[in-house]
Structure 1
Amino acid sequence: MSAHIPTRPHPAPRGGVDIRLPWWAFALPTLAFFVLLALILNPTDAHAAAGDPAIAQLLERVQQLISR
């Protein structure tokens, strides 16, 4: 007597394993990145900035562009 072999409802993908991530697996790291970036670029928290003024101006410009 032969055993019944279950078949897949969809054909197997050509590239190998088909991995689908939930929406939050992309959204949460992205949100965390932008929150940390905003904390770094906040000039009110930079009490002792002993660096190159060009870098400080660049960071302020990036913050202005992000806040628009």
Structure 2
Amino acid sequence: MSAAFGTSSVEKAHGLRTRLPWWALALPVVSFVALLTLLAGSAEARAASAPQSLGALLEYLARFVGVGA
């Protein structure tokens, strides 16, 4: 019954902590807020035509790889 309230010998041997660091909660919160902001701001955005955006992406990738001029 004492193992339910204290640390076990395995945790002591491996140096495991039961508390999470502060960033383990902060990173998901920051990510959620950033994605929510992007979604909220997309209401005024206009959709680009698919062939034009695909062509721009392929041109960028070609320049990045060094294939195109």
Range of TM-score over shorter length: 0.3 to 0.5
Q: Normalised by the size of structure 1, how large is the TM-score?
A: 0.38
Give the structure, 1 or 2, with the largest relative contact order (CA under 8 Å, sep 6 or more).
1
Q: Normalised by the size of structure 2, how large is the TM-score?
A: 0.37
By percentage of residues, which structure has more helix? 2
